[in-house]
Chains A and B, each alone.
Chain A
Amino acid sequence: MQRGYWIRSKPIYGSLVWQSPAAAHLVIAAGEGGIAVLKLFQQMYPREPIQVLYAGQPKTGRDYAEILGSTVPEGLQICNSEAELLETLKTQLGNYHMGTQFYVAGPEAFLWQVMKSLGQVGVQDADVHKELAGTLARPVYCVHCKTITEAVHHNIFSCSHCGRKLFVRDHFSRRLGAYMGLMVDAEQPGNIPKIEEVYP
């Protein structure tokens, strides 16, 4: 394709910035997303109630639990994994009301798992702010066997379920929270382009 071509379904992430007006702030981060939380508090300490959920002990990258402990003024909860955080989030979402602003930072698969939980209780997309942090690893949906592989680093990878060699497209489904993976050698079996790490 010519330069300038891009697929409009590909999410573009910004940097977290406190939103105003807000009834309350819920900050949800994992792993390197801790940096994005620290940046928020370097901006200011908002007047409204704050809660911060942080998943520490990441498989890669630094754990910001300790430094967050001395920075976040109130409402900090440290979880031991992303899975534990998502469970905690589900049990607490009922406590939030209209006007709460949501901030999410971490790897891409994490961002969209949080989005799914928020969507299930009716949170509007416009009230959720996302920052991609630490890694470009992509969640990828195998369009053939419908399995999502969570952290893909290469342009071509083997599906974690059906084993087909999949090419990672930029086409992104918000409902599934994943990019599309399409069999790369369907036309000419075994003809596989060079495999490169493009999502470190």
Chain B
Amino acid sequence: MNTPAFKHETFRDDYSFSNSAEAIRRFPFPFPEDDYMYSVNIEQHEPGAPGSVLEHLIDIDEHYLAECEDRRLTLEQDPDRCIITPHMIDAQWDMVELVMESLAADYPQWFSLSKNGDDWHWINTPMGIDQQFRFGDASTLPMPPFEFITRQVQGDWIIMDQRDDDLFADMGMVTSQADWSIAFDAGMSFKEWHGPVPQANEIGVFDRALKYLLHLQYGSPVRRLNWTMTVNPRLDTSPENYPFWGPDNVSVTPENVGDKVYLRVELQALFRLPRSNAIAFSVRGYLISLNELVTYPRWGKRLHRILKGLHPDLSEYKGLDHYRQTVIDWLAPMDDGADLGLGTQPE
């Protein structure tokens, strides 16, 4: 995917979102085996195979412009999706540096960054942004630095301040979340923030993840995958707007399940930031409809087995209870029971 055309598509109303064949092939399918339970599953965020979602530190794909536009619409309706605590000013500039440098280095055909001391010049060609500013001087940008840069990148970003041997969600741009609210969760410690997740506390996942992250080093980012399912390709499945998308959860039928139900995978990457010593936690979502997914039979079979064996608490927490059985019934005829071996590859 060297030069994808950015698609014109929507994640609300008429839901015109879809994946190209190339986007399906590179989808970060999250299940290497037939069973699923929470685990820390953290690995180094090192560059992956060319064309894969892991090729670059921050992945820009064919949905870039449409996702940024969806974020703009969400912020227009609810500015509290971007929360910035005053003491996070150094982390705001850390984020400007991280995103601009990564994008300019990895996608020079679209982004450019030139520096003359603290005078920076940023060009985002797809979005038509040409901005000169003084690094460290927020008055030279049209909005807070963190908001400025996170409006130009896909995925949600939560910046965690590190103090008292804990991590606090003190800043965030969260418009494409799996049913959690940055306005509500802002300021929470690591375990408070993950408080509602069932089963994971019991097996010590958050204790271990927190210990690990407190020692995260600058220049050695890490990543993991997480997943859920969504009805319709909606990015803004927020608690705030649950009254609007909640009814979709009971709209799935055996006839529309392949079109309406999406596997939603989060590529979560964590970066230590140099000035603030905060941690940037990026949650980049990828959506794929079941119809698109089963174009690779191996994935269809695997997902069938995962959903059949899913712990009831996880099913409830992920909000799948209304339609999980419908999905299982739809996938069942495609699963011949063959041994799939280990691995997430499509074929």
Interface residues of chain A, those whose CB is within 8 Å of chain B, are 1-2, 4-5, 7-10, 141, 143-144, 146, 164, 169, 171-176, 180, 182-183, 186-189
Name the prevailing secondary structure of the A interface residues: loop
A144 and B242 contacting across the interface, CB-CB below 8 Å: yes
| The residue from A144, A164, A173, A186 contacting B185, defined by CB atoms under 8 A apart | A173
Closest to A189 in B: B247
Q: Which of B88-128 contact A (CB under 8 A)?
A: none
A103 to B192: give the CA distance in the assembly, Å: 23
A173 to B193: give the CA distance in the assembly, Å: 9
- Could you pull out 5 A-B pairs where Cβ atoms are within 8 angstroms? A9-B195, A144-B240, A144-B241, A175-B186, A180-B239
Interface residues on chain B, number (Cβ under 8 Å):
29
B184 and A183 contacting across the interface, CB-CB below 8 Å: no
A14 to B87: give the CA distance in the assembly, Å: 31
5 extra interface residue pairs, beta carbon distance < 8 Å, beyond A8-B191, A10-B195: A143-B183, A143-B239, A176-B184, A182-B242, A188-B247
Question: How far does the Cβ of A105 sit from chain B's closest Cβ, in whole Å?
Answer: 23
Chain B residues with Cβ below 8 Å from A188 are 247, 250
A186 to B243: give the CA distance in the assembly, Å: 5
Question: How far does the Cβ of A147 sit from chain B's closest Cβ, in whole Å?
Answer: 12
Interface residues of chain B, those whose CB is within 8 Å of chain A, are 80, 181, 183-188, 191-196, 198, 201-202, 239-243, 246-247, 249-250, 313, 316, 322
| The residue from A1, A173, A187 contacting B184, defined by CB atoms under 8 A apart | A173
B193 and A9 contacting across the interface, CB-CB below 8 Å: yes
A8 to B193: give the CA distance in the assembly, Å: 8
| The residue from B188, B193, B198 contacting A1, defined by CB atoms under 8 A apart | B198
A183 to B313: give the CA distance in the assembly, Å: 21
Question: How far does the Cβ of B291 sit from chain A's closest Cβ, in whole Å?
Answer: 24
A144-B243, A171-B184 given as contacts; is B249 within 8 A of A8 (CB)?
no
A187 and B80 contacting across the interface, CB-CB below 8 Å: no
B246 and A186 contacting across the interface, CB-CB below 8 Å: yes
Chain B residues with Cβ below 8 Å from A141 are 184
A173 to B198: give the CA distance in the assembly, Å: 18
A175 and B187 contacting across the interface, CB-CB below 8 Å: yes
B242 and A7 contacting across the interface, CB-CB below 8 Å: no
| The residue from A7, A143, A175 contacting B195, defined by CB atoms under 8 A apart | A7
Question: How far does the Cβ of B79 sit from chain A's closest Cβ, in whole Å?
Answer: 11
B195 and A171 contacting across the interface, CB-CB below 8 Å: yes
Question: How far does the Cβ of B191 sit from chain A's closest Cβ, in whole Å?
Answer: 5
Question: How far does the Cβ of B186 sit from chain A's closest Cβ, in whole Å?
Answer: 6
A141 to B184: give the CA distance in the assembly, Å: 8
A180 to B191: give the CA distance in the assembly, Å: 17
Chain A residues with Cβ below 8 Å from B249 are 187
A5 and B247 contacting across the interface, CB-CB below 8 Å: no
A186 to B179: give the CA distance in the assembly, Å: 13
Chain B residues with Cβ below 8 Å from A171 are 184, 195-196
Chain B residues with Cβ below 8 Å from A180 are 181, 184, 239
Closest to B186 in A: A175
Chain B residues with Cβ below 8 Å from A176 are 184
Closest to B179 in A: A182
Chain B residues with Cβ below 8 Å from A2 are 198, 313
A4-B202, A143-B239, A187-B322 given as contacts; is B192 within 8 A of A9 (CB)?
yes
Closest 3 CB pairs of A and B: A186-B246, A8-B195, A9-B195
